[in-house]
Chain A
Amino acid sequence: MKNKILIIFTHPVYEHSEIQQLLIREARQKEFVTIRDLYQLYPDFDIDINEEQKQVEKCDVMIWQHPLYWYSAPPLMKQWMDLVLEHGWAYGLNGNALKNKLILSAISTGGDAYAYSDEGRHYYPVRDFLLPFRQTARLCRAYYPGHFMIQGTFNIDEMSRNKKVREYGILLDQLHSARWSSGLEGVNLELIDYLKH
């Protein structure tokens, strides 16, 4: 049995983000990937909790895909986490829905790697800003190996951009047949900012 992948995607102005459009188009070609485009589904933030939980239960790998806004996700992503990741379902004594699942973030940032270094304007590396997501996965007893990232989207050239998009496709393929009972197997760890646990 190969892994089913669920992408929880949030972007308030998706129509203006070329890079996210390319990433989503790439993901859409894989029949084992389900995309939840939250801003399209819930423009009024009224999330269908039952439906979202059902989708999560069906998947083996979940990807939280969004641009990095103010060092975090767009607000609907947080709303999704607040409403869907219920106590007794996602975490807590009887909350096993996410147990042993694989969770990754897929992030796009306008600034480049330099901007996210201790010499850059954002000072901290992206992985530091993703700490709340990493810990969320941990509390839900899921395995969070790291994040896929495409940076410098404000002025990325077409070649590096297309390369990144292809890499996302490759990552999705590898996740489709990956194993993670002890460490992550079957995935090129360079594609994700791998965290040694």
Chain B
Amino acid sequence: MESGFLFQALVYLSAAVLIVPLAKRLGLGSVLGYLLAGLVIGPSVLGWVGNDAEVMHVAEFGVVMMLFLIGMELEPKTLYKLRVSIIGLGGLQVVLSMLGISLWSYFQGFSWKEATALGMILALSSTAIVLQSLSEKGWNRLSAGKSAFSVLLFQDIAVIPILAILPLMVTKSIESSGHGAEWVQNVSSPVKAIIVLAAMALVVVIGRYIVGPLLRMVVRSGMRELFMATSLLLIAGIAFLMQQVELSPALGAFLAGVVLANSEFRHELESDIEPLKGLLLGLFFLSVGASIQLVFLSDHLLEVLKWVGALTMIKLIVLFILGKIFGLSTDQNFIFTFSLAQMGEFAFVLFTVTGQLELLSPETINLMTAVVALSMALTPILLLITEYQILPKVGTTQVDGKKKEYDEMDENNGVIIAGQGRVGSIITRFLRTKGVEATVVDNDSDRVELLRKYGFKVFYGDITRYDLLKAAGAEHAKIIILAMNSQDDILSSARVVKKYFPHLTIVSRSDSRQTTYELLNLGVNKVYPITLDASLKMGVDIMEMLGHRKYSAYRSAQKFRKHEDFLIRKLAIHRMDSPEYFQINREMINDLEQAIQNDMEDPLLLVKEAWDEEGRKNEYTSDKKFLN
């Protein structure tokens, strides 16, 4: 069997490309799709890829990136607001699930040590699956999603003490988790604690003081790929640092993300990392799918099913009760409960550790790996059941409730302003005086810096990109204002928005007739040729200087504006049919010619207004006979 890099890539990519869209079309969600694809290409079915630990390792980086992105979505303020549910709900979930699972394991014949280890490991849910599934269904903004997130966050933190406790449970001393730097492992616990704290502090310092200037420097170099490289370097560096001090890389990345949540580069970082994260997570799920051993499953089917059933039940009960206590409404509680009922990917990591510690026997680990993989695979199905079977029955207030909680969670603004040049900054300032806070995006980092100095909330990024639009909240906004200087950018943004966010009303600046035509032909109706109003205003003042009444000049300008608008729309249609579309110069002269002709013919510009007295004067002579 071939095993070259290209062949591997071919297999993974084609499995993803072929099976995932199919799964999504069938309403199964992408996670289940990846798992299925993994199963198909894995040793159990086609055997095209092995159960490759290396691949798994790379793929785990996707989880790290995901937590980095999650961190960036969360400002420290939000995190502080969530403290009760993180510590209370998350803490209780971990402790109670652990107790329940440990007890069950103990009664299944494991020693108390093994039972405790299993309890700790299996109490954790799958951050990757849950967050991906929730956001696919749009549930991450509900209060159920918020609560689930708090629990997951606590679990991610809980991995650290678990990693610390596991070695204490055996007399055998090994190289603990096996990843840390030697000098860190050889120091005593208090010193270790100081090192860990110092590492965390270092992450904060890097995020706050070094990343910003570094990215600014990179941006000035004008090379896009360097920005991406810097983003990756940042995450890889933090993951490495965390590993050195034996912390979870995911947690370090999360911390870095939180620190960078307020950065002006947030949206750009997000849009750079997002697709990579998606790919790596996909790879991660593929690997999990591939690790499901069908033979083992069929041999120990009853055993596996028993464990999956029992563990899921324990988790469901614990979660449902906690959800109730923490005030989730019934429908929210079902979403919350069913989304977190599986075992998580940390289990695979922790099983490796327990294997090294000889805390659990290889048979147990084999069985439990199957159990975890199966329970992960079951999550999308459980959520489907929740969505289509349970929610329609209990969710009486779902629509209203959804709306309200969506607003609550919603940090996006209804208005996105792209471009902070002369045009965009005026709009931003004007809207702000009326209390309209817009999400502002600009691709000039110096300007972003300047505006931020004066307290404007500006994000750095390229608005012509789909993922940046998404990160800027295009899915939930109502209006997007395209105010960039570059006409090309305006047109490509308009195309992307029209295609992917058709609900958005586009309000666009236009600096040339070409742009106006193309925007109109794209179906953008709110087009504002920025030169028109200023030119007409000059015209009005010139008329006044020539001795005309200002109001009459003003009215003429108003009429001319309407005339021009009509004309440009007419020419835009003509332009669409024109075969010499690309002969721009010639066309422009034609346009001018046509415009001038139209100016002389348009009745709107010639007819006098209602208060013109000529007509009435003539008619009035017929009343003359009544004169006294």
Residues of A that sit less than 8 Å from B by CB = 12-17, 39-41, 43-44, 69, 110-115, 119-121, 152, 154-155
Contacts and interface: CB of A to CB of B under 8 A. Distances in A.
Interface string B533-556: 000000010000000111111110
28 contacts: A12-B551, A12-B552, A12-B555, A12-B611, A13-B609, A13-B611, A14-B549, A15-B552, A39-B549, A39-B551, A40-B549, A40-B550, A41-B550, A43-B540, A43-B553, A43-B554, A43-B555, A110-B613, A112-B627, A114-B626, A114-B627, A114-B628, A115-B626, A119-B626, A121-B623, A152-B627, A154-B616, A155-B624
B536 to A, nearest CB: 12
Nearest to B549: A15
Interface string B590-623: 0000000000000000000101110011001101
A119 B626 CA distance: 9
Contact of B620 (A14, A16, A155): A155
A119 B627 CA distance: 11
A115 B616 CA distance: 14
Given A113-B628, A154-B616, A43 B550 contact: yes
Contacts of B554: 43-44
Nearest to A18: B613
Given A43-B540, A43-B554, A110 B624 contact: no
Contacts of B617: 110, 154-155
Interface residues of B, number: 22
A86 B523 CA distance: 45
A179 B609 CA distance: 42
A115 B551 contact: no
Nearest to A13: B611
A156 to B, nearest CB: 11
Mostly helix, strand, loop or mixed at chain B's interface? helix
Nearest to A41: B550
Interface of B: 540, 548-555, 609, 611-613, 616-617, 620-621, 623-624, 626-628
Contact of A13 (B540, B612, B628): B612
Q: Please name the 6 residue pairs, one residue from A and one from B, whose CB atoms are nearest each other, closest first.
A: A43-B554, A39-B551, A43-B551, A154-B620, A43-B550, A154-B617
B613 A16 contact: yes
A77 to B, nearest CB: 13
Contact of B613 (A14, A112, A113, A154): A154
Contact of B623 (A16, A40, A115): A115
Most buried by B among A39, A41, A115, A154: A154
Given A15-B549, A39-B550, 6 more contacts: A13-B612, A16-B612, A40-B550, A110-B616, A114-B626, A152-B627
B533 to A, nearest CB: 12
Nearest to B619: A154
B621 A155 contact: yes
A117 B155 CA distance: 91
B199 to A, nearest CB: 61
Nearest to B614: A16
B297 to A, nearest CB: 78
